[in-house]
Structure 1
Amino acid sequence: MQVFNTPQKVIITCNKRLSPYVQQEVKALGFPIKRAFSTGVELLATLNDCITLNLNLRCASQVLYALKSFTAANADELYHHIQAIAWEELLDFNGYFSVNSNVNNETITTPLFANLKVKDAIVDRIKEKKGVRPNTGPKLNKAVVHLFWKENKADLYLDTSGETLAKHGYRKHPGKAPMLEALASGVIYASEWDQKAAFVNPMCGSGTLAIEAALIATNRKPGLFRMNYAFMHILGYDEQVFFAARRKLKEQIIKNIDLKIIASDISEEAVNIAQANAKTAGVDQLITFEVCDFAKTHVPPAPGVILFNPEYGERLGTHSKLELTYGRIGDFMKNECKGYTGFVFTGNPDLAKKIGLQSHRRIEFYNGKLDCRLLAYELYDGSRRKVKIDDQSL
């Protein structure tokens, strides 16, 4: 089964509301998109193309290569269709694989049962053909098979990623309530930062936003930080294709860039964590870290982008103190950041009202399961001042 050179349907998944930014990245890589939906995109690609996609995408979660589509009313029919696939040509019979799934079928009460039926079908097929049972388990560090089963329609994929792409591999010290790397990339794309003007990130926490900004500006891709993907454990994998793609990533890095990225936090521990993460990512020399109250953050001359990701009362902080903090954020942006575009990422619309400025854009995101907004503010230098918002404007 020549999957590495055979074009098939490929689904790239992502967290909800990151799809527009995945589309942007896929198009930049030269892949036409057949279909876009709220949690991903569909295209036609080979398994070798999936190597390129895995190494380059910042906002994606998984890259799924289609093996078979079929109808199955119950688990027995599912087993029958999956056992008919030539797994001995895809998986090492001395190897290891895992199964995950997205199941909505009235005969299945738990996806774990569907996973078990998929595992049984694959193992039975390989034992029949090779006389050996491969090992299986929950870890995603080898070959991974993914089942999507809705009502009677089933699609079976090779998950070419394994561990999620949404984590970029450089953040060894997450800190408190960190923003997922894929989300941080999407937020930066949404800001429309031109990667030349200053980028200021007060309240930086573990540094994810500042680090992602530096990685995007210097064209450092996530594949530089990872050496194991699920596609490496499929029969027919040519490691030279992977190493050629990885060399291309290194050649595309923009060096000697003149860029001002400022990241500050009142916590010395947080700044130390951010610096360590930036060093792992290879961008510590591009970011100026400061230990200070956000209102003391150095703001280079305009133009620039200033981006806050303050606490919003769901996991950290207390509401009354946060009201004062949000008010101070608005005052700081209005008085100290003239000529900038200001952004506040928050999951609390009531606290957002305390900023006291009117946003000209409100971009929807999810942070985990929390419904969030990236609020954008034009911070005019001169007489054009934004009026305070009323309770109906968010």
Structure 2
Amino acid sequence: MNQYFATVARGLETIAVQELEQLGASQVEPGFCGVSFSGDLALLYRVNLWARLPFRILMKLHEFPCQDAEDLYQGVRSIDWSSYLTTDMTLAVSATGKTKQLNHTHFTALQVKNAIVDQQQDQFSDRSNVELQSPDLQINVHLDQDRCTVSLDSSGESLHRRGYRPAVGAAPLKESLAAALIQLSEWQPEQFFYDPLCGSGTLPLEASLKALNVAPGLFRERFGFETWLDADLTLLEDLIQAAETSQLEQLPAPIWGSDRSADVIDQAMVNATQCGVSNHVYFTTLDLSDVTAPSDSGVLFCNPPYGERLGRDSDLGAFYKRLGDVLKQEFKGWTAFVLSGNKELAQSIGLRSSQRFAVYNGALPCQLMKYELY
């Protein structure tokens, strides 16, 4: 059994625990901006393929006391890197965290790289080259409370970049955050889903992938673990084939998105085509003032501008009031979820929320507000 750590956005640790347990992880424990868990190689591949919330899945190699550069160098050098790296493989090192004496991540990463290639030079009179874009082995070191954890990054490019989204509007939601909001809402695929401010379509698309049981990792070109020395590409292919055969052929209930901008609706449709759901999700150009409920009940989602993004100088207060009016007048019988990073603007909606979830959109603290519309 290997030890793994899934990095997630701050505030999503608890629901990430649920997701990992559903995927078969054991010894699952929430931490800060991540979740530790145990499992075999098949679980590592399955989590990379299926998990909707994490950014990266790290496999822990070693942990040791570390206060200064010498501790770091010797601790990293004590690992037998020939088990993970040959001299003709490329490598990259990323560093997070700090100690009192190691407080510059670039220096930390450089020291780790030096320890690895010095070991290679001593053993083989040759060394790996550094490749920052898509290395054969991505190494992660994390410093915290005078301890260093060395891990291998199994994901490669961040998992939130699904690979289906070549077209994005202004200030798009990360795919992983959209998936997290949907999970927090407890929306079920049997319920109508509608986003009247959908932009380039991230929320409806993530809802469609969930409802059709599509693994988000299917759109990626590669995972980091595919170039590891112990990579089992037959196992990966079996998991991919199983994922493809488990997809549903049609949505249990409609999923719609609309936006006043024809250009961003065009982007949403391109993205829908890229992830194979263009025949399932419905996008249309529609101003918020013209929005009406497409059915008697359902779940409405939206991520309106909140000053930190679009239209800083426009009258956002009036826009939020209009949103509240549309919800009150047109969506009786629905449940609405609104993500906002601006409390004053949120008050302009003029509705009392029944529940609030604290989340982070990047570094910005936000709230997902739930409204029961009667």
Q: TM-score range by the shorter chain?
A: over 0.9
4+ runs deviating over 4 angstroms? none
Contact 2:67 / 2:102 at 8 angstroms: preserved in 1? no
Q: How far apart are residue 208 of structure 1 and its match?
A: 0.3
Q: How far apart are residue 305 of structure 1 and its match?
A: 0.4
Q: How far apart are residue 298 of structure 1 and its match?
A: 4.8
Partners of 2:85 and 2:41 lie apart in 1 by 14
Comparing 13-22 with 174-183, greater Cα deviation is found at 13-22
Partners of 2:90 and 2:189 lie apart in 1 by 43
Q: List gaps (5 residues or longer) in structure 1.
A: 1-6, 381-394
Comparing 141-150 with 52-61, greater Cα deviation is found at 141-150
Comparing 249-258 with 116-125, greater Cα deviation is found at 249-258
Match of 1:108?
102
Comparing 230-239 with 269-278, greater Cα deviation is found at 230-239
Contact 2:88 / 2:128 at 8 angstroms: preserved in 1? yes
Q: How far apart are residue 72 of structure 1 and its match?
A: 2.2
* Per-residue CA distance 1:177-213 (angstroms, 9 max, x = gap): 0000000000111111111111010111010001001
Task: Classify 1:253/1:95 alpha carbon distance in 2 versus 1 (closer, same or farther; 3 Å).
Answer: same
* Counterpart residue identity of residue 228, structure 2: I
Partner secondary structure for residue 16 of structure 1: coil
Contact 1:169 / 1:226 at 8 angstroms: preserved in 2? yes
- Answer yes or no: is 1:278 the counterpart of 2:272: yes
Partners of 1:261 and 1:295 lie apart in 2 by 20
Contact 2:189 / 2:252 at 8 angstroms: preserved in 1? no
- Answer yes or no: is 1:202 the counterpart of 2:196: yes
Q: How far apart are residue 140 of structure 1 and its match?
A: 4.3
* Per-residue CA distance 1:234-278 (angstroms, 9 max, x = gap): 112121111111112112211133421111010000000000011
Q: List gaps (5 residues or longer) in structure 2.
A: none
Equivalent residue for 1:257, pick from 232, 251, 275: 251
Partner secondary structure for residue 275 of structure 1: helix
Contact 2:24 / 2:43 at 8 angstroms: preserved in 1? no
TM-score, normalised to structure 1, is: 0.92
- Answer yes or no: is 1:154 the counterpart of 2:148: yes
Q: How far apart are residue 333 of structure 1 and its match?
A: 0.8
Partner secondary structure for residue 302 of structure 1: coil
Contact 2:301 / 2:337 at 8 angstroms: preserved in 1? yes
Equivalent residue for 1:310, pick from 270, 280, 304: 304
Contact 1:22 / 1:59 at 8 angstroms: preserved in 2? yes
Contact 1:92 / 1:234 at 8 angstroms: preserved in 2? no
Partners of 1:65 and 1:48 lie apart in 2 by 13
- Answer yes or no: is 1:125 the counterpart of 2:119: yes
- Answer yes or no: is 1:371 the counterpart of 2:365: yes
Contact 1:80 / 1:121 at 8 angstroms: preserved in 2? yes
* Counterpart residue identity of residue 161, structure 2: K
Match of 1:16?
10
Q: How far apart are residue 377 of structure 1 and its match?
A: 0.6
Match of 1:45?
39
Q: How far apart are residue 61 of structure 1 and its match?
A: 0.9
Pairwise mapping of residues 95-244 of structure 1 onto structure 2 (< 5 A)?
Answer: 95-244=89-238
Task: Classify 1:320/1:18 alpha carbon distance in 2 versus 1 (closer, same or farther; 3 Å).
Answer: same
Pairwise mapping of residues 39-78 of structure 1 onto structure 2 (< 5 A)?
Answer: 39-78=33-72
Partners of 1:141 and 1:267 lie apart in 2 by 39
* Counterpart residue identity of residue 119, structure 2: R
Match of 1:297?
291
Partner secondary structure for residue 137 of structure 1: coil
Partners of 2:252 and 2:166 lie apart in 1 by 27
Task: Classify 1:250/1:311 alpha carbon distance in 2 versus 1 (closer, same or farther; 3 Å).
Answer: same
* Counterpart residue identity of residue 204, structure 1: C
Partners of 2:135 and 2:264 lie apart in 1 by 30
Partners of 2:166 and 2:68 lie apart in 1 by 43
Q: How far apart are residue 331 of structure 1 and its match?
A: 0.9
Partners of 2:57 and 2:248 lie apart in 1 by 26
Q: What is the alpha-carbon root mean square deviation over aligned residues?
A: 1.4
Q: How far apart are residue 174 of structure 1 and its match?
A: 1.6
* Counterpart residue identity of residue 48, structure 2: N
* Counterpart residue identity of residue 288, structure 1: Y
Equivalent residue for 2:26, pick from 32, 39, 48: 32
* Per-residue CA distance 1:113-159 (angstroms, 9 max, x = gap): 11011111111222222332111133245311111112421111111
Task: Classify 1:230/1:312 alpha carbon distance in 2 versus 1 (closer, same or farther; 3 Å).
Answer: same
* Counterpart residue identity of residue 285, structure 2: V
Task: Classify 1:209/1:34 alpha carbon distance in 2 versus 1 (closer, same or farther; 3 Å).
Answer: closer
Partners of 1:109 and 1:212 lie apart in 2 by 38
Partners of 1:130 and 1:48 lie apart in 2 by 32
Match of 2:83?
89
Task: Classify 1:101/1:318 alpha carbon distance in 2 versus 1 (closer, same or farther; 3 Å).
Answer: closer
Partners of 2:43 and 2:111 lie apart in 1 by 30
The number of aligned residues is 374
Comparing 220-229 with 45-54, greater Cα deviation is found at 45-54
Partners of 2:100 and 2:344 lie apart in 1 by 40
* Per-residue CA distance 1:69-92 (angstroms, 9 max, x = gap): 111221112111211211112113
Task: Classify 1:114/1:10 alpha carbon distance in 2 versus 1 (closer, same or farther; 3 Å).
Answer: same
* Counterpart residue identity of residue 83, structure 1: R
Contact 1:142 / 1:162 at 8 angstroms: preserved in 2? no
Counting aligned pairs with the same residue, the percent is 34
